[in-house]
């Protein structure tokens, strides 16, 4: 096992870091950090990310994607500010799902604007009464001539408030076990009967987390993707990739907290010397670094397992659950190193703490991820 980046991987990271400093951070800095970015600002950032291949990193190059390995994608993803990386995750995994479930006619219809970053998209699965189990979705789709009619509600959807295209998970009835037969339907935002709104949240406040309401929304029948029942399988495949990526978003935040703690320990004096010279503070710094490094390596390992074609359900769940928990604790510990300054707006640590607290939720809450990992170990499903 080689833990050293290749020259290509180092170049990928350096190029991504330069792009973030040049094209992303200035846009974030120009806008209120407590409110969702205007759509035009997101499109400006998307334009830069599209040049890096981040609109469709999982798709092959011959079909308009970047053809990245999951590990290389993760190396870039970790560098992005999480408020942007979580948005990109919604964009690119929606592109991957549409690509995997669509005909060539549908690809030509829906993907070009997504791949060049001129259209924003999202996947709408979670509902007020259906979260971790997509088989419980109640949003209905019914055929009416050459149209489909959708009624229902979705919630906690990344990009919902600014999306042009919403890949909606619907139920078209029950199977023999009483579970919903799932169907994906692409819904253009401007369609009558679609209303989206932002949900104010604890962290990632420049992002867009919202709900979508469908009231007799009519779309062409051609907007239906895949064979009935395939949607759940595609959800699992993309979730496996998403989970360690969310873990790396937590690593991004915890690394900032570690850097701040090390710097502060070298300038703050107490009891006649810099606090970095006190044993307790050195242990705190060591604990923070250990959390960051182990989280990063576990997420890299899960992504590498997927690249090698290994079953990743358990390793992916473990990576996200561990990283989001460990990195939240690391940021909290950095706040302790800073003392009273740790809770001041001035240091930015309180924002890191609010942001990292958002990350255990998407793509599987940590309790569910523990059961997924346990199922892989025991060979027994705890859900049913």
The CA dihedral of 198, 199, 203, 204, to the nearest 10 degrees, is -20
Region 108-112: mean pLDDT is 93
pLDDT at 237 over 80: no
Q: What is the pLDDT of residue 227?
A: 60
Structure tokens at 65: 């994607």
Summarised one tens digit per residue, pLDDT across range 293-311 is 999 999 999 999 999 999 9
Region 113-127: mean pLDDT is 95
Q: What is the pLDDT of residue 84?
A: 98
Determine the Cα angle at 212 with ends 207 and 213, to 5°: 160
The CA dihedral of 267, 273, 279, 283, to the nearest 10 degrees, is 0
Q: What is the pLDDT of residue 176?
A: 75
Choices 1.20.140.10, 2.60.120.260, 1.20.120.1630, 3.10.20.740: CATH for 232-378: 1.20.140.10
Domain 7-115 sits in which CATH superfamily? Acyl-CoA dehydrogenase/oxidase, N-terminal domain (1.10.540.10)
Mean pLDDT of the chain: 93
18-27: Cβ within 8 A, 24+ apart: 19/48, 19/49, 19/51, 19/52, 20/79, 20/80, 20/81, 22/48, 23/48, 24/48, 24/49, 24/80, 24/81, 24/84, 25/81
User: Pick the residue with more confidence: 327 or 362?
Assistant: 327
pLDDT confidence tier of residue 187, bands split at 50, 70 and 90: very high
Tell me the domain boundaries of the chain. 7-115, 121-226, 232-378
pLDDT at 59 over 70: yes
Region 1-24: mean pLDDT is 94
- The CATH architecture that domain 121-226 belongs to is Beta Barrel (2.40)
Structure tokens at 327: 């990195």
Alpha carbons within 13 angstroms on the beta-carbon side of residue 14 total 7
Of 171, 172, 154, residue with least CA distance to 163: 154
């Amino acid at each position: 096992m080689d833990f050293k980046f290749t020259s290509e991987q180092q170049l990928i990271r350096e190029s991504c870091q330069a792009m973030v400093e040049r094209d992303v951070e200035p846009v974030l800095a120009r806008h209120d950090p407590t409110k969702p970015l205007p759509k035009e600002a997101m499109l400006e950032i998307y334009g830069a990310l599209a040049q890096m291949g981040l609109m469709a990193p999982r798709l092959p190059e011959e079909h308009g994607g970047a053809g990245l390995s999951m590990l290389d994608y993760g190396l870039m993803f970790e560098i992005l500010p999480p408020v942007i990386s979580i948005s990109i995750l919604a964009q690119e995994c929606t592109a991957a799902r549409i690509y995997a479930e669509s005909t060539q006619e549908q690809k030509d219809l829906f993907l070009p604007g997504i791949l060049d970053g001129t259209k924003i998209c999202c996947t709408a699965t979670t509902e007020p009464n259906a979260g971790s189990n997509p088989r419980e979705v109640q949003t209905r789709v019914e055929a009416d001539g050459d149209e489909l009619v959708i009624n229902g509600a979705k919630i906690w959807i990344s990009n919902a408030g600014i999306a042009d295209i919403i890949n909606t998970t619907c139920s078209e009835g029950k199977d023999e076990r009483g579970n919903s037969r799932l169907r994906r339907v692409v819904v253009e935002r401007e369609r009558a009967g679609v209303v989206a709104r932002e949900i104010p949240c604890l962290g990632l406040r420049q992002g867009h987390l919202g709900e979508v309401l469908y009231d007799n929304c009519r779309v062409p029948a051609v907007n239906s993707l895949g064979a009935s029942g395939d949607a759940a399988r595609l959800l699992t495949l993309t979730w496996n990739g998403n989970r360690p990526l969310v873990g790396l978003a937590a690593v991004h935040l915890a690394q900032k907290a570690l850097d701040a703690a090390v710097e502060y320990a070298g300038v703050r004096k107490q009891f006649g010397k810099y606090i970095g010279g006190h044993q307790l503070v050195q242990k705190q710094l060591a604990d923070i670094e250990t959390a960051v490094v182990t989280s990063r390596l576990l997420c890299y390992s899960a992504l590498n397992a997927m690249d090698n074609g290994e079953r990743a359900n358990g390793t992916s769940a473990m990576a996200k659950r561990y990283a989001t928990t460990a990195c939240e604790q690391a940021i909290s510990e950095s706040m302790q190193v800073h003392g009273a300054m740790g809770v001041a707006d001035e240091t930015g640590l309180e924002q890191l703490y609010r942001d990292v607290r958002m990350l255990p939720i998407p793509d599987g809450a940590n309790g569910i991820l523990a059961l997924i990992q346990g199922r892989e170990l025991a060979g027994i499903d705890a859900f049913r």
